[in-house]
Amino acid sequence: MNRANPLGALPTLKLRLAVIIVAAVGVTVASFYAALKLLNVWPAFAGVVAGGVALAVVWVLSRGTLEPLRAMASASEAIARGEFETRVVANSRDEIGRLAESFNSMAEELAQTDRVRRDLVANVSHELRTPLTALQAKLENIADGIEIADAETVATMLAQTERLGRLVRQLLDLSRLEAGTVPLDRREFEVQPMLELAARESRLAQSSNAIEVSVEPSDLTIDGDPERLHQVVANLVENAVRYSPAGGTVEIAARHADAAVTITVIDSGPGIAIEETQRVFERFYRSDAARSTQQGGAGLGLAIARWIVDLHGGEIRPEASEPHGCRMVVTLPSKVG
Ligand SMILES: Nc1ncnc2c1ncn2[C@@H]1O[C@H](COP(=O)(O)OP(=O)(O)OP(=O)(O)O)[C@@H](O)[C@H]1O
Ligand SMILES: [Mg+2]
């Protein structure tokens, strides 16, 4: 029996309360009887003595039982002030012990959410600052007469503005998807025209990689939001082109498999390392190889793609492609909901 918690060995709160009540009633009766019979005091005085003894017994026995609740109350106040590292001691096996464990896991989740929020703010600020600084430097040079606003300078500034605009659109998209404020506009539609559109857009934007589309059967349909799924394919094709060498071919394929449709985007680049297959879907994650290249991108494309695929009840994962390259597989249930 531990001194701070005399009833600590009892496994449930119910049992502890029962012991406290029985002990209080027992000592009340015993001390009333003793005061009355042995000390011969007045019944009213015996009642007061019995009440006092009962209170002392209840106070001693309930010490350790109520202490964790007091600790949780002050820990809640600390967490409300933003001290997310606060934890309570959870060493009893009863309901209060389980409450303390749940409290600690809730505090851990809050701490984790807070870390993610801080990282997000830091990443967003960093990504916004880079093009803004470049833009400001150019504008200052022009204002000071060091540089003239020739076509090349204006084109550089326009590229930075476009980068900023794209980043803001991506962030808005991600926050809308996460908040669920824009519901999916689901309907049954043909896959081939959507893939052809993504391929045409990519051919217009670049000429370094050939884009091939194959759909089997050719009238394959999906039940989903055509615009959002087009966005997924466009992001995957953009990555395939960005991360593979010039002169390669990017294949976009759609197949029917069991009760699902799979859309695959295959490239002949270096591929995604096995230990990065989950991390590439995190916001702002870019592999070291991708960071070291000058090709832009904030690391949001796959995070957006995964949200859209999740909302459709599907799955997205990278696989190694033979002999090398990346094979992004999106599996969508044929009938959603
Ligand atoms: N096809 C691919 N081949 C090799 N690496 C890839 C491929 N697709 C994605 N990656 C890796 O995953 C990371 C995350 O991809 P994601 O599309 O989210 O970001 P990004 O392309 O860097 O930027 P953004 O899409 O926001 O413009 C990339 O930085 C790259 O390291
Ligand atoms: Mg991308």
- 68 located within any domain: yes
Sheet holding 260-266, edge to edge: 210-216, 249-257, 260-266, 326-333, 315-320
pLDDT in the model for residue 96: 86
- Helices then strands, counting H and E runs in the chain, come out as 8, 7
Ligand nearest to the CA of 281: 1
Q: Give per-residue burial for 126-140: e unless 16+ CB within 10 Å, then b.
A: ebbebbeeebeebee
Say yes or no: 168 and 270 in one domain. no
Q: How far is the CA of 318 from the centre of ligand 1 (A)?
A: 11
Looking at the fold, whether 192 and 328 belong to one and the same domain comes out as: yes
Whether residue 2 is contained in a domain is answered as no
6 domain residue, yes or no: no
CATH number (domain holding residue 233): 3.30.565.10
Grouped pLDDT means (10 residues each) for the chain, 337 residues: 65 86 93 88 90 91 83 94 90 84 95 92 91 93 92 91 92 89 91 97 94 95 95 96 93 93 95 93 87 76 95 94 89 76
Question: Phi and psi (nearest 5°) for 138?
Answer: -60, -45
* Helix, strand, coil share (%) of the chain residues, nearest 5: 60, 15, 30
Please tell me the residue having the least CA distance from ligand 1 atom 31.
287
Domain of 133? 120-179
* 289 contacts: CB under 8 Å, gap ≥ 6: 270
Q: Note whether 17 and 69 are same-domain residues.
A: yes
Q: Is residue 5 part of a domain?
A: no
Interatomic CA distance for residues 205 and 235, integer angstroms: 13
Amino acid at 216: E
Rounded Cα gap, residues 173 and 334, in angstroms? 25
The total of structural domains in the chain comes to 3
Measured CA to CA, the distance from residue 123 to residue 298 in angstroms comes to 9
Asked whether residue 242 is domain-assigned, the answer is: yes
Taking the C-alpha atoms of residue 268 and residue 121, their distance in angstroms, rounded to an integer, is: 35
pTM attached to this predicted model: 0.77
As a whole number of angstroms, the distance between CA 113 and CA 102 comes to 16
- Flag whether 166 is in a domain: yes
Q: What pLDDT is stored for residue 296 in this prediction?
A: 66
The reply to whether 328 and 219 lie within a common domain is yes
Short-list 153, 155, 158, CA closest to 138:
153
d(CA 24, CA 228): 68
Q: What value, to the nearest 5°, has the Cα angle with vertex 279 and ends 129 and 301? A: 55
One domain for residues 195 and 325? yes
Helix (H) or strand (E) holding 260: strand 260-266
Residues 321, 225: one domain? yes
Please report whether residue 4 resides in a domain. Answer: no
Closest CA to 58 of 94, 98, 22, 112: 22
User: Could you tell me if 241 and 284 lie in one domain?
Assistant: yes
Residue count of the chain, please give it: 337
**Do 167 and 136 share a structural domain?**
yes
pLDDT given at position 335? 67
- At 308 the pLDDT is 95
User: Is there a domain that residue 304 lies in?
Assistant: yes
pLDDT the model gives residue 106 = 95
Same domain as 227, residue 90 = no
* Rg value, the chain, Cα: 33
What integer pLDDT is reported at residue 294 of this predicted model?
63
| CA of 295, closest atom in ligand 1 | 22
Return the closest-CA partner of residue 306 out of 274, 265, 278.
278
* CATH number of the domain bearing residue 167: 1.10.287.130
* 49 and 128 part of one domain: no
* pLDDT score, position 280: 95
Q: Which residues line ligand 1 (CB under 6 A)?
A: 170, 235, 239-240, 242-243, 267, 269-272, 280, 285-287, 290, 297-303, 326
* Residue among 123, 239, 242 whose CB has most ligand 1 atoms within 8 A, to mutate: 239
Alpha-carbon distance 319 to 271, whole Å? 8
| Whether residue 147 is found in the same domain as residue 126 | yes
**Protein residue whose Cα sits closest to atom 20 of ligand 1:** 299
Token representation of residue 270: 């270096």
- How many CB atoms sit inside 10 A of residue 268's CB? 19
Q: Six-digit token pair at 96? A: 């209060």
Same domain, 199 and 150: no
